Structure 1
């Protein structure tokens, strides 16, 4: 209880520090005028194209320091015609440029390269937006911008039609971008959009922005954009019905099925439809969606007591997903789209789906999604629905609500339906330094359980040097989230082979303080101390688990990083638990406390050979654990990257409870033949799951938003490498 009162005290105190920030949308403005000549994307700045348009040049340092003007000059001009919005950037430098890869939509390689990015808030509400970026080598990335608390994050999983052209010169490089109005969502009668430009100068390891704002906010931050002022607001885009059909031809063989003696050959046809109902309200439909070209899941070694959840990889569920996914806290997510069409790792066919997202009014954003899965021999047909809204209140705050429903549409002995409802209020100060979200959620099932609640709050306060945050979750033992993530609720008893739900309370405060050395000759961008603590209490107030962490971090000017971490953990184990295999006796019920120390280092990411490592040793329940991870990659810029990861755990429990060495090996090989043709390869071996897998994908973007994929996938067991299954898929998509 003392900790709870302390958190409330922190919240009240920090309100006093949430003073208003400067209004960058009033300070930084660009008056855009229509073009009188055709704009040709050729990377050549022709006088008749751009001479009549204003130039904005005053970029400021943003990272690693947020003071002073940029060393290298960046010039930006903008214009438009009836159908397109055009941006030209001239990026001066000393001729030394880093281009990690030509692969599109690769977040790590994009921000690790010299790049230019446009961040847009066309609805001008500081709640959602878009980003379009190009590296000096011409690799493109596009994505959505969403708010989590007061921070803006980008997701590259949104795809749409636009174009760019890059040409490199001796002392500068030029990028020209065209974005169709029908690609964006905006208010047709609005004369101002939020906009910012981010320049990545990777040779000097700095990022600069058009507007000046604190380093503790991301460069794409929507609260600190400038204004794009239209002489007349763009009309509603016409021709906004888009059809994206696909056809696949597949060869599938399940070698573990004795009745299948040869590969099955199948062909499928389906597609997506995108309809702009208004200039800022989109309808997405899918029929017999195919996800064979999705990225392969990265295997991990799980030695915790609870399930882990791999990220969503399917594009239909990723686009505009923030309207549904940004509920709950990091520990509990009421909605997690990977629960739809996947059960225990097995894909369940989806017949159709629809998603309506966008703004009803400038301050009201909504989303509705419905998906129908097919009946199979193992699973009943199901209909999944989710509806959510976000109503902007005050300056930047939001009231959010969500309703989730799973309904069986064929006979089943399992639970007929499962429903969740939730309401949240997110307060964000005008400066963005302080944010706090209050939440209440509940679940409904045929059993009419008691204790179906989840409530609490989560927030942060952030200044340049001092940052702190807090989380309080109170979870009832029957808060069921079939379409969400709530891993700690279910506790497995290894002796009785039963799962028991146990409610809990989580209290999680954290604090970080950073030092920023000054001077051009500095070797360190920043260093500082951070500490975070997690306490889980049982419903009767007794201790379930506590974890105390203390770390010191260094980030060097050459992009390398060093982290030193000490951990203390105490677990009141309520049920016998198997952590390393059913062949050993479960760890018995009791109280365990153990400590651990980790060292993590990442080398200069601009080098041809990049490596990082994590090593740690400490006690582990009634034994010890030695863990080590080594990762290295060669970059043959910009056409190829080849990397190898080895993750090792040596766990030695007390006599009778087992000892085991766990190995995970991953090879990644990515080749960019051009910025339209990519070859991706992943080999993975894990002793924990007794699996060796191989995945290869050749992708050719032969036309904007139109691709040909050739995908190969196979899995083997690790005993004699006997094959489990193999598939070859040819998929063709076309954007009409």
Structure 2
């Protein structure tokens, strides 16, 4: 706590910056929607008198890389509706040169790197949550939900629901038409105005343009800077909002490392999900025997830190509407991380059933309740997981939110019978969104009734066009145990005694960035900026534990390329003997270490058919040196194929007797889009650190809206003699009723 008041004094100048008035876009940009007088045919062909009587949203403004002036290539948008759907027509003018990276749906990177058009909606009109629907010029679709993190709008493409679109390309423009069912959206039928905006990706000009005008330091999908959609008559409550999504799977699995298993096990399973709209903006999701075999393969990484790493969640049931549960904590500590449910030490644990209730109870109160039950296995007791969270909007954009988590053993176990966590946070967000700060307090409860179970502090940022800064102050107690969360620094492993000790800490993390924009469009450089960030970790008694001082210079080019120069200086007071390279070498002894590090990064023009990037780094590493190199290249046979390879190399040479090793990670990706409904994804990964060579292939056919057939092949080998470890083949069929 010795550092608390110095940190507050550091933040005071930032907290007292004058507020930027970006303008009330919802008051300044309005559109009056009218009910359709003729039938709308979804064919991307503008029929005679089909759209003529509806007023266009126009003109569009520049948003990135500049936020001044009108768009060079304009977009004409019109809206109408009937008793079932909201209809959108966009006519995207250009010079005939279009980039479509892929036809694969829900591919975030390829979508934003293509010519695209998106509509973003805030049906509750509270600037806290919303939806995005988008289509590329080639017809590839993406949909997702919008949430607030700090003062920025975050987009997740993992939300899926039924809607339709059609695109067609013409000389000098391309057209997209959309039909978005009202039962797909969450809204208040008594609400006569919604938040709305449109985003146009014009990749030939490397530009993003929007209907409303606002600063580029906020994302194109920003909910704070939407316009207003005024309804002549509010949409009625959607009917038929009961959806059944059953599945059936057949699979074979052979574990070749199990000498008693002489042939593959064959299994057939059935299960599914039910989605029920209790109200127009409150939804209940139920699942029975959920199956996640169609989830994407984990991307392997090289870990040479002292702490565990956590791979991202890939399972759709946990990803949809996840922000209500996952938005707590800071980047260093996440109280809730859904991958802790149903996956123990990387091994899936079968889930019997589960349910999730999410949505708005009132325009200002949003809730989330989730409960899941896992099966008992030979090694693990059956568990019940419950999570409840709420977000209550106060002031203009600020939020009070709370969360409670409980893991309860439901069968006999020698392990902890239960583990619970609770937390409360207040997030202040200025009306302009330029300043945000979150104050938080969390605690954990276990049968041992430990002391020092706290996690508290604050985190925030200040953002303007050129100057940006942020701060994190965390205090973590020795016994803040988060079985359903992520707190990697708490667990310290002693490589000699093979014991793990929990040691709390205080983190102080300020950062500052300043950008310089180049107004001359004849220059290759669009902007460049200096940034610096610092991590200071203190032990519970206030003594020094670790620090890292970083300095970077970023160069952003008009052709989308990027160059970054980084330098770091790190100091570590190593409190436990640590083995970084495995059990074959002497662990690094307790002591003080300091080491500099330099790094160069380059990313090429993403609009090209061949794209490449590289990372080169060298520096001291504890009592030795480390050299790192990564090169990645991909070639697109646009729009149907994308083939890429990544090679990540680390050469670590510690002092004599402490080990040296060369770590290799090779990844090959081959994605083929036969159409915008038929996809083949292939991933090969070779990781010497994990002694694993894996082959993953997934065929997907979306034969009907939100209905798929998957065929998945997965095989793992060791990297020594390429001996096979296991092999599985899964056929899964889902249907949206």
**Does the alignment reach a TM-score above 0.5?**
yes
Deviation (angstroms), 1:520: 2.2
Contact 2:121 2:196 (8 Å CA) reproduced: yes
Q: Which residue of 1 aligns with 2:135?
A: 134
Q: How does 1:564-583 map to 2 (within 5 A)?
A: 564-583=565-584
Deviation (angstroms), 1:467: 0.2
Q: How does 1:205-244 map to 2 (within 5 A)?
A: 205-244=206-245
Separation in 1 of the partners of 2:395 and 2:485? 30
Task: Give CA-to-partner distance per residue, 1:396-433, whole Å, 9 cap, x none.
Answer: 00000000000000000000000000000000000000
Aligned to 1:323, the other structure's residue is in SS state helix
Change (3 A) 1:401 1:213: same
Separation in 2 of the partners of 1:448 and 1:360? 35
Separation in 2 of the partners of 1:522 and 1:24? 32
Aligned to 1:316, the other structure's residue is in SS state helix
Q: Which residue of 2 aligns with 1:418?
A: 419
Aligned to 1:34, the other structure's residue is in SS state coil
Deviation (angstroms), 1:580: 1.2
TM score, norm. by length of structure 2: 0.99
Deviation (angstroms), 1:2: 7.8
Does 2:481 match 1:475? Answer: no
Contact 2:65 2:526 (8 Å CA) reproduced: yes
Q: Which residue of 2 aligns with 1:710?
A: 711
Contact 1:15 1:434 (8 Å CA) reproduced: no
Q: Which residue of 1 aligns with 2:12?
A: 12
Q: Which residue of 2 aligns with 1:520?
A: 521
Contact 2:22 2:215 (8 Å CA) reproduced: no
Provide the alpha-carbon RMSD of the alignment. Answer: 0.8
Q: Which moved more, 1:676-685 or 1:47-56?
A: 47-56
Separation in 2 of the partners of 1:460 and 1:525? 24
Deviation (angstroms), 1:16: 3.6
Contact 1:35 1:49 (8 Å CA) reproduced: no
Change (3 A) 1:293 1:643: same
Q: Which residue of 2 aligns with 1:82?
A: 83
Change (3 A) 1:217 1:2: farther
Deviation (angstroms), 1:8: 2.1
Deviation (angstroms), 1:525: 1.5
Separation in 2 of the partners of 1:187 and 1:15? 37
Deviation (angstroms), 1:47: 3.0
* Aligned residue-pair number: 736
Contact 1:21 1:430 (8 Å CA) reproduced: no
Change (3 A) 1:8 1:385: same
Deviation (angstroms), 1:6: 4.6
Separation in 1 of the partners of 2:523 and 2:227? 31
Deviation (angstroms), 1:361: 0.3
Does 2:611 match 1:610? Answer: yes
5+ residue gaps in structure 2?
A: none
Does 2:445 match 1:444? Answer: yes
Contact 1:651 1:661 (8 Å CA) reproduced: yes
Separation in 2 of the partners of 1:621 and 1:495? 18
Q: Which residue of 1 aligns with 2:333?
A: 332
Does 2:190 match 1:154? Answer: no
Q: How does 1:681-720 map to 2 (within 5 A)?
A: 681-720=682-721
Q: Which residue of 2 aligns with 1:355?
A: 356
5+ residue gaps in structure 1?
A: none
Separation in 2 of the partners of 1:196 and 1:10? 37
Contact 1:138 1:675 (8 Å CA) reproduced: yes
Q: Which residue of 1 aligns with 2:678?
A: 677
Task: Give CA-to-partner distance per residue, 1:19-63, whole Å, 9 cap, x none.
Answer: 443110010011000001111110011233211111111110000
Does 2:521 match 1:536? Answer: no
Q: Which residue of 2 aligns with 1:174?
A: 175
Separation in 1 of the partners of 2:521 and 2:621? 45
Q: Which residue of 2 aligns with 1:103?
A: 104
Deviation (angstroms), 1:3: 5.7
Q: Which residue of 1 aligns with 2:655?
A: 654
Task: Give CA-to-partner distance per residue, 1:172-193, whole Å, 9 cap, x none.
Answer: 0000001000000001100000
Aligned to 1:47, the other structure's residue is in SS state coil
Task: Give CA-to-partner distance per residue, 1:624-668, whole Å, 9 cap, x none.
Answer: 000000000011100000000000000000000000000000000
TM score, norm. by length of structure 1: 0.99
Q: How does 1:286-685 map to 2 (within 5 A)?
A: 286-685=287-686
Separation in 2 of the partners of 1:317 and 1:522? 46
Separation in 2 of the partners of 1:266 and 1:494? 41
Aligned to 1:711, the other structure's residue is in SS state strand
Aligned to 2:300, the other structure's residue is in SS state coil
Task: Give CA-to-partner distance per residue, 1:1-24, whole Å, 9 cap, x none.
Answer: 786435423543333422443110
Q: Which residue of 2 aligns with 1:94?
A: 95
Deviation (angstroms), 1:321: 0.2
Aligned to 2:49, the other structure's residue is in SS state helix
Separation in 2 of the partners of 1:6 and 1:38? 66
Aligned to 1:141, the other structure's residue is in SS state strand
Aligned to 2:564, the other structure's residue is in SS state strand
Q: Which moved more, 1:7-16 or 1:200-209?
A: 7-16
Aligned to 2:277, the other structure's residue is in SS state strand
Q: Which residue of 2 aligns with 1:44?
A: 45
Aligned to 1:48, the other structure's residue is in SS state coil
Separation in 1 of the partners of 2:558 and 2:687? 36
Change (3 A) 1:10 1:214: farther
Separation in 1 of the partners of 2:10 and 2:244? 52
Task: Give CA-to-partner distance per residue, 1:433-457, whole Å, 9 cap, x none.
Answer: 0000000000000000000000000
Aligned to 2:23, the other structure's residue is in SS state coil
Deviation (angstroms), 1:387: 0.2
